[in-house]
Structures are given as structure tokens and as C-alpha cells.
């Protein structure tokens, strides 16, 4: 129990450090990208280098992901404050939403196909233990 708590605390500390580093980069380099997105990119690159997700990060991220809806409430409610802006630019916003969704789906489709082909190739290379 205590090791899980310590592991989760360490993972949360790692995620917090990555975010704070992203905020630092955002201000130091005047990047036009939100710090949260920079942090996600840093975490992605870190996980690519490690080639696995550390158990401490998994332990810390699991409760955050379970309550992801709570993180989305403030932006959803703040939309109500800018209804006139959304009404004014409704067509452009709709095109941006539909376009980004389609682009994301197409990218996810092609990446998943590529990953599945690699998995199939690796499975064909592994000798069958029954033979």
C-alpha cells in the first residue's frame, strides 16, 4: 500500500516537473503553443526514449485520467461567456472542428494500420512452440 502511494507520488512529481519545465520553455522561448501541449510533447518524447511507460507515471496518471471530465468542465462552462464570439465565427469554427477531427481520424487510421502490420510481421517471425 505504501509503496503504491510512494510510487504514485513520485509519478505525480515527475508529471508536475514536466509541466513546470514546459511552462518555463513557453515563457523563455516565447512559443506560440500552450504549456500543456508542450508538456504532452515532452512526455511523449520521454516515453519514446524509454520505450515503456514507467509504473510510477502509470500509477499517478490513472486517477487523473479517471476524472478527466472534471478537467474539461471549466473550458466548457467558459464557452458560455463567449457565445457572441462563437456565433460571429460559427462557420469557421465548425470547419476547424470538422477538419481537425477528420485529420485526426485519418492520422489515427494510418498509424494504427502501420502498427498492426509491424505486429503481424513480428508475430510471423516468432516460431510456433507447438512445432
| Mutual angle of helices 2-29 and 35-50, in 10-degree steps | 120
Burial class (CB within 10 angstroms; exposed 0-12, middle 13-18, buried 19+) of 103: exposed
Mean pLDDT of 73-88: 84
Taking the alpha carbons of 28, 31, 34, 37 in that order, is the dihedral positive or negative? negative
* CA angle (106 as vertex; 87, 74 as ends), nearest 5: 40
* pTM for the structure as a whole: 0.62
Could you tell me which residue, 78 or 90, shows the higher pLDDT? 90
25-75 confidence digits (pLDDT tens): 999 999 999 999 999 999 999 999 999 989 999 999 998 889 888 888 888
C-alpha–C-alpha distance, residues 27 and 54, integer Å: 28
Q: If you average pLDDT over every residue of the chain, what do you get?
A: 89
Amino acid at each position: 500500500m505504501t509503496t503504491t502511494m510512494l510510487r504514485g507520488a513520485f509519478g505525480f512529481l515527475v508529471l508536475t516537473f514536466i509541466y513546470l519545465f514546459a511552462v518555463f520553455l513557453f515563457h523563455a522561448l516565447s512559443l506560440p503553443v500552450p504549456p500543456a501541449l508542450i508538456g504532452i510533447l515532452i512526455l511523449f518524447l520521454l516515453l519514446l526514449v524509454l520505450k515503456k511507460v514507467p509504473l510510477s507515471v502509470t500509477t499517478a496518471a490513472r486517477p487523473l485520467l479517471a476524472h478527466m471530465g472534471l478537467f474539461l468542465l471549466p473550458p466548457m462552462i467558459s464557452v458560455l461567456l463567449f457565445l457572441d464570439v462563437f456565433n460571429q465565427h460559427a462557420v469557421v469554427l465548425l470547419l476547424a472542428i470538422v477538419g481537425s477531427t477528420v485529420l485526426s481520424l485519418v492520422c489515427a487510421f494510418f498509424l494504427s494500420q502501420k502498427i498492426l502490420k509491424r505486429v503481424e510481421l513480428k508475430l510471423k517471425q516468432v516460431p510456433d512452440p507447438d512445432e
